Structure 1
Amino acid sequence: MTYQRNPVKAPRMSGMALKAFVNALESGVGSVMLDKLTRDSGIERWRELPAGDAPPLQFPLPQGSAPAEPQPPTEQAARAIAASASPPERESVAAYLRAYREGATDPVAVVSRIHDAISRLDSGKQRMGLFVARKPDEVHRAAEASAERLRAGRPLSVLDGIPVVLKDEVDLAGFPTTLGTRFRTQVATADSTVAARLKAAGAIILGKANMNEIGINPIGLNPHHGAARNPWDTGRITGGSSSASAAAVAAGLCPLSIGADGGGSIRIPAALCGIVGLKATWGRIPETGVPPLCWNVGHVGPMGLTVDDVAAAYALLAGPDGQDLVSQGQSPHHLSGYGDDNLSGVRLGICWDYFEDADADVVARCKEAVAALTAAGARVVEIPPPDLNAVLWTHSCIILSEMSESMQPYVKAHLSDFGLDTRTNLAIGRHFRATDLVHALRHRHRLTRELLAQMADVEVLVTPTTATTAPLIPEAALPDGESNLPVVDALMRFVRLANLTGFPSLSVPAGFDEEGLPVGIQLTGRPYEEHLLLRLGRVVEQAAEYRVPPVHLRALR
């Protein structure tokens, strides 16, 4: 099979044209319009694509190997940070711990600087659009408690005193989980598993980060809470939907954040904002307390300044809980071999036609990252191209059908309160047939089975994370934003398959384009082999150029 990507056939719309289009979609003629839109984009060819003997159930993911000497999560996290080779100019978790240990600063002074910076960055006409909710007094009390533990030499973990932000898709007791809407205002009465584990580790949760409304678009423009702006160029998008979770890290407000990823929503903003983002294996990090939006493709996970930061957070956050069925029955998570930069024996699967279907600077930086991996001993194995049309429609049908179902009660009561891009996507989700969803679930099973067979011969698949660096914000179209499917395609081209199959996938900074915007490379591994992805990510990170964005806080000095 030769590599083929169909051109996107949809007009770019904003303003009154977009409003008229959305109103028409939701009217009696909407079905006719949606039939044409989806037919022009290749849905009929997908509907006719045989799924073979695949049933509409996820193919069981094979369990990973357990480490020879299991270690508690706190010890694994500590080892990741102890092995840190992060340069001193990066305010990583290791830099925070060093500053606390040497008495250069403490958590109280740090959060005071951060609060001042947030007040400056997130106010006025040029606001960065980072936070939707904060409680500075609570944060200050948490910092005081952390500082006392550190003075007594009794930290709860390597994350004690480390500032973290949560995507507003993750429950935090006492805060509403708006999902980026303006009407979902009920206050969470309990912490999500992720928030509870962070608190138990002593992390200081700064607040809830802005996101694309209900996570349904990868661009990151929110019509209710404002556009999240990229610290590398405030006139450019962050990517989404974990938009401000990425921007807050890039801007130096915290070395770690939590995002969620149903279709690249951790990895896309990580790439565009020049940070690290991990979508672990499906269910590896429990989603208890994360309101369901897309059951079969959704993940929650860490985003961080460095690979070491993300490895430490992964070690503390992964592992089953009693309420998330998908998280149960998995092999123990671990970081075996994490510090070993000798990659002899590691095979990198690359389809060069697919890899090179991106902007020239993106391809160049990602090839340099591949060169760093091969210099460390890895070997490239050429693999066949994916069927992008099958991947596109299988993923789109599942995620949009599930989001439409999860939002159905709100659609009935608040349809006009949703943003225009959200209403467009929900209309598409409602337009899919029941037979389409069963067909998609069958192809999910088939694609997973085929990818597992392919990865018997390679350990890791390598592509760019996105086909482009951060596009410009359409300022004239704000606050409503625009419909721009070519940009959506460029952002999502490489990310969908890992969501469909549930395989772990990591985005790592690989350098910069000629305009100084970050480029990300994506490493996708076998189920439960996050430790290998993180190990390779360290090699890429150490070889890539590092810069500080123009909008940036030095919280430790």
Structure 2
Amino acid sequence: MGLASQRRRGLADGLERSPHWPVASQLSLAVGGLAAGDWALAVTVRAGVPIRRTRQCQPAARSARLQRARFLPSSCSWLRRAGPARGKPARGGLPQEQTTPRGKCHWRSITLPTPTPHKPRPTHTPYTHTPLYPLHAHSPYTPLHPHPLAPPIPTPRTPTLHPSPLPIPLHHLAHPRPAGQTPAARKSRARQSPRAGAGGAWAPPGESSRRPAICPALPASPGPQQPHVLPRHKSRPRRCRAVAARVSPRPCALALPAGTMALALLLPAALLLLLLYLGFVRCFTAAPNAVFQCRERAGAAGSQPPRDAWGPRLSGQPLRLIVHLVNTAFGQFCLVPFLMRQNNLFLLRYIHISEDPTFFPEVAAEAKKDKPETKSIAEILEQLMEMRSPSAPSGFSFRKIQDYLNSYRTGELTPTQIAENVISLLEDCEKSSPPLRAIVQWDKQQIRMMAEASTTRYRNKCPLSPLDGIPVCVKEEIKVVPYYHRSGTAYLGTQPETEDATLTRKLREAGAVIIGVSNMHELGTGTTGCNPSRFHGTTRNPYNPKHFTGGSSSGSAAAVAAGLCPLSIGTDGGGSVRIPASFCGVVGLKGTFGCFSAYGCHPLSYSTVSLGPICASVTDAAIAYSILAAPDPLYPYGLHQPKPSLSDVLAPDLKGLKLGVDWTFFKACNAEILAVCQKAVEHLQALGATVVEVSLPEMEEVRVAHLICILSEMRDFLQPDFNHHFQDMNLETRANLALASKFTALDYIKANRQRSRNMRFLKEIFATVNCILTPATACTAPKIHATDLETGNSDILTTIRTMRYVQLANFTGIPGLVVPVGYTAAGLPINFQVMAKWWDEAVLLRVGLKLEQFRGTTRKPAIYYDVFA
């Protein structure tokens, strides 16, 4: 059955089932037959006759009933227009006769009394005003503004049916409730009052009618003399919805000002434009502009003053709050990007770099054309140890490796005696107030066992190396048997180590006495050395216990500066050897990438980390370099490095060396550091070196790229710990890893492209100079606050200033050496940095020895232990 047929049949069914059927007006409805096989309905409605159904009636009876449909009023013309689905409609709009395959028409008949013909609608000339809906002339629902020339509207005589060809809603056929009467009163009046006249209009008083209107107009008003007033205790009568839908719309009760209306129209338009912008406008363009810079391979941005970072210093409860926020959805969406923009960490996203990325700064060693060395390493070391730097007028100087060797060789002291003194001092360090917290794990039995073996060798006059019997400590990030490999955390290293790292093994083979593992900044994520872990605590600066030691190799530098040992091993991924050495006034060497094997260390940042020694003097650094620097088949980098060469270290002066200085970059430090370092440059120039002004381009890009690399690699390695040990991590570590989570693969690729670019710049610079000179740090050791000891701290500005001069060597893989050259007015150390090309550590040691002589007077640290006493 088709849709139209379904609607017509539904109309007939609705009329039969409607509760308002007794009050229905005259309606003769004929619905033409549909296609063959469909039902054809014929419905004839009369007033007052019971309903009967007839199936398969004769054509003559059906034609008689269809003939009555001609009496349909004009307002029901849509019913007459409803013709059959096939063929043309019959005359007068009635459907033609359709037959079924059996020759009979299936239809339904509902018979009521014969209708009364309606009166024709009056017309007016010469002007006719016909309302869009029939209303009584005195109805209060007449149009609000009729035409002035329009004649009075006549009383309609026919009901107005729904003009749509769709089925009429049954509630529209209900008789409206007369105004001012209850349903019971209306029923009583319906039994007593005369009905409406022909045509279905409301009959005036005194005029009889036999049937009500299906959907009549509202009753005529009593007129001006007898106004109809609703009782106060009665509710307002309901009107027929069909009539109410045809009255003129009532004026709006709320009149909005013109400005409000304009704003109401502009807001959706603005919202639409915003959605179009966010959804269809590109964030970046491919053409270079003021923000997006296209840097070609041949060009290089000139040297510019480094930019200071932005960020408040946080500790205590404010730090807890910020760390909590940056690890929430709000922080990741709003706070972290804001901090990154303020610190220019999105810089590389706006720069096009054409160089291919370099993921590891490994450079092959150049074949040297110099004459072969005439002296062995051992002979050179002996000469170096005989060269003593000037001591202070009071006679103070750090105990160096040569001092230990002289005592052992003369028999004044033995390694066993030194070991016992060290054990006693380690216990005293923890009892002091505040505790030094330089060595966090030691084993008396292990120390005594190694010392006894060394004593036996010296008694037999067969020491293994210049390090035999020398007390040494190793950073906790490096594996040492039988200590826990915690890396400054409270959750790693739950079991003692059973395998040594490569450097630890080399120290044992050289006969060194490992007195323990040293403290560090948790996971190397900071540069202050502040670690509130329950296993560690914050290391104190021996020169001033109220200041930090620097990090992350904080314990290694503090142990050397406090006199517990002349040599310690640290790791340097972002200045972690050179920064604490500078804050503690000792020597720190960061070798070429791959020079010292990193096997057995936590791979926190595998493309920037290099291991190196922290020593009491440059000579001690040369000894450690000559013994520990070697290829390691377990470590994939540095397999083709040259053998250590110290022939140039014994040169009496610096003649023939060219030292490069970028004064714009050099002066980006505080005034006290700048004054001392400028005098150090003059001292080197006086020893025969030539100072050449060079340009270190794109140092801001180096800062951003190095930070992207080290944090991204740390986040990659620490992702399982971040998920499962989040609450066990320090607050600063959580904040840094949350920051690293916003770096993308694009950032990491761009950073490694920048690495290639800066390595090319350095090759061009080292073609004209032998070394690059800078201060070691842009600031001195920061002060410790009380809340730092409980929660740690986060100071972005101090961190960036601390790492300003050390990032270039980590990022490009070149070696760097820091040497103490002076002190501030407050007594804090100031160090100077020398950087050389790849695999040229000998030049660094040569310049470092001359810088060591420049310092002259060595001040004794506030916390110092003499193991010889």
TM, length-normalised to structure 1 = 0.97
Residue 324 of structure 2, aligned match among 13, 23, 26? 23
What is the rounded CA distance, in whole Å, between the counterparts of 2:429 and 2:359 in structure 1? 46
In the TM superposition, 1:60-459 aligns within 5 A as 61-65=363-367, 68-69=372-373, 77-78=381-382, 80-85=384-389, 89-123=397-431, 125-185=433-493, 186-224=495-533, 225-459=536-770
Q: 1:176 to 1:79 in 2, by over 3 A?
A: farther
2:823 alignment partner AA: F
The residue number in structure 2 matching 1:556 is: 868
Q: CA deviation at 1:306?
A: 0.2
Task: Determine if contact 2:530/2:788 at 8 Å carries over to the other structure.
Answer: no
Q: What SS does structure 2 have at the residue aligned with 1:337?
A: helix
CA distance in 1, matches of 2:445, 2:517: 15
Cα distance in structure 1, aligned partners of 2:581 and 2:593: 19
Gap runs ≥5 in structure 2: 1-301
CA separation in 2, counterparts of 1:162 and 1:208? 15
User: Are positions 1:42 and 2:353 aligned together?
Assistant: no
Look up the match of 1:7: 308
Distance 2:413 2:783 in 1: 38
Shift of 1:327: 2.0
Q: Distance in 2 between matches of 1:532 and 1:31?
A: 46
Deviations 1:379-400 (A, max 9, x none): 1111124423201110000000
Alpha-carbon deviation of 1:20? 1.2
Which protein has the larger Cα radius of gyration, Structure 1 or Structure 2? 2
Mapped partners of 1:115, 1:411: distance in 2: 36
Report which stretch shifted further, 337-346 or 228-237: 337-346
The whole-number CA distance in structure 2 between the counterparts of 1:205 and 1:462 is 34
Equivalents in 1 of 2:831, 2:763: separation in Å? 24
Partner of 2:269: none
Q: State the one-letter code of the partner of 2:868.
A: L
The amino acid of 1:269's aligned partner reads: P
State the partner residue of 2:858: 546
Q: Shift of the alpha carbon at 1:99?
A: 1.6
State the AA in 2 paired with 1:345.
G
Please, which of 500, 506, 511 is the counterpart of residue 811 of structure 2?
500
**Corresponding residue pairs, total:** 557
Partner Cα distance (1:256, 1:93) in 2 = 8
- Indicate if the aligned counterparts of 1:12 and 1:483 stay in contact, CA closer than 8 A: yes
For the residues of structure 2 that align with 1:30 and 1:206, how far apart are their CA atoms? Answer: 44
Counterpart CA distance in 2 for 1:193 and 1:73 is: 21
SS of 2:669 mapped into structure 1: coil
Q: Whose strand fraction is larger, Structure 1's or Structure 2's? A: 1
Distance apart, 1:70 and its partner CA = 8.4
Which deviates further from its counterpart, 390-399 or 70-79? 70-79
* Contact 1:46–1:389, Cα closer than 8 Å, also in 2: no
Q: Percent of counterpart pairs with the same letter?
A: 36
| Cα 1:357/1:541, change in 2 over 3 Å | same
Question: 2: distance between equivalents of 1:422 and 1:44?
Answer: 21
The answer to whether the 8 A contact 1:467-1:490 is kept is: yes
In structure 2, what is the Cα distance between the partners aligned to 1:440 and 1:98?
A: 49
Q: Decide whether aligned partners of structure 1 residues 519 and 65 sit closer, same or farther in structure 2, where only a CA change above 3 A counts.
A: farther
C-alpha distance after superposition, 1:285-326 (max 9, x if no partner):
111111211010001111100000011001100010111110
In the TM superposition, what is the alpha-carbon distance from 1:30 to its structure 2 partner? 2.3
Structure 1 residues 264-284: Cα deviation after superposition (integer angstroms, max 9, x where no partner): 000000000000000000000
Asked if the contact 1:285/1:317 (under 8 Å) is kept, the reply is yes
Q: Using the alignment, how far apart are the partners of 2:487 and 2:852 within structure 1? A: 32
Q: Does the 8 Å CA contact 1:74/1:315 hold for their aligned counterparts?
A: no
Distance apart, 1:85 and its partner CA: 4.7
Equivalent position SS for 1:180: coil
| Secondary structure of 1:260 counterpart | strand
Counterpart CA distance in 2 for 1:493 and 1:45 is: 17
1:280–1:504 Cα contact (<8 Å) kept: yes
Tell me how far apart the structure 1 counterparts of residues 357 and 565 of structure 2 sit (CA, whole Å): 44
For residue 413 of structure 2, give the secondary structure of its aligned residue in structure 1: coil
Residues 64, 302 of structure 1: alpha-carbon distance in 2 compared, 3 angstrom cutoff: farther
**SS of the residue aligned with 1:431?**
coil
Does the CA contact (< 8 Å) of 1:342 and 1:377 recur in 2? yes
TM-superposed deviation, 1:62: 4.1
- Give the 3-state SS of the residue equivalent to 1:462 in structure 2: strand
TM-fit CA distance, 1:216? 0.9
Go from structure 1 to structure 2 and tell me whether the alpha carbon gap of 1:548 and 1:417 turns closer, same or farther (over 3 Å shift): same
Distance, in Å, in 2 between the alignment partners of 1:368 and 1:270 is 20
Q: Which has the higher helix share?
A: 1
Higher RCO (C-alpha under 8 Å, 6+ residues apart): 1
- Rate the CA distance shift 1:71–1:177 in 2: closer, same or farther, 3 A: farther
Residue 125 (structure 1) shift = 4.8
Given that 2:541 and 2:548 are in contact with CA atoms closer than 8 Å, whether structure 1 keeps it comes out as yes
- In the TM superposition, what is the alpha-carbon distance from 1:53 to its structure 2 partner? 2.6
Shift of 1:77: 4.5
Q: Secondary structure at the match of 2:723?
A: helix
Q: Is the 8 A contact 1:81 1:312 kept in 2?
A: no
For 1:81, give the aligned amino acid: M
For the Cα contact (< 8 Å) 1:8–1:41, is it kept in 2?
A: yes
Stretch of structure 1 that moved more, 246-255 or 370-379: 370-379
TM-superposed deviation, 1:100: 1.6
- Once the two structures are TM-superposed, the CA of residue 5 in structure 1 deviates from its matched residue by 2.3
Determine helix, strand or coil for the equivalent of 2:431. coil
Structure 1 residue 26: Cα displacement: 1.1
8 Å contact kept, 1:86–1:306:
no
**Alpha-carbon separation, structure 2, partners of 1:389 and 1:500:** 12
Note the C-alpha offset of 1:477. 2.9
Q: What's the secondary structure of 1:445's corresponding residue?
A: helix
CA separation of 1:77/1:317 partners in 2, compared to 1, >3 Å: closer, same or farther?
A: farther
Q: Secondary structure at the match of 2:630?
A: coil
What is the deviation of 1:339? 1.3
User: CA separation in 2, counterparts of 1:200 and 1:79?
Assistant: 23
User: 491-500 or 357-366, which moves further after superposition?
Assistant: 357-366
- Which digits, 9 at most, give the CA deviation of each residue in 1:39-79, with x for residues without a partner? 11113332212222333444652414457238776666555
Deviates more, 1:356-365 or 1:411-420: 356-365
2:398–2:563 Cα contact (<8 Å) kept: no
Partner Cα distance (1:317, 1:71) in 2: 19
Instruction: State the alpha-carbon separation in 2 of the partners of residues 56 and 163 from structure 1.
Output: 39
Task: Give CA-to-partner distance per residue, 1:17-38, whole Å, 9 cap, x none.
Answer: 1111111111111222111111
Q: Does structure 2 retain, via aligned residues, the 8 Å contact 1:506–1:524?
A: yes
SS at match of 1:29: helix
SS state at 1:43 partner: coil
Deviations 1:180-229 (A, max 9, x none): 00000232211111111111111100100000000110111011111100
Deviation larger for 212-221 or 388-397: 388-397
Which amino acid counterpart does residue 525 of structure 2 have in structure 1? I
Q: 1:80 deviation in Å?
A: 3.8
In the aligned structure 1, how far is the partner of 2:787 from the partner of 2:327? 25
Deviation at 1:365, TM superposition (A): 1.5
8 Å contact 1:505–1:522 — kept in the other structure?
yes
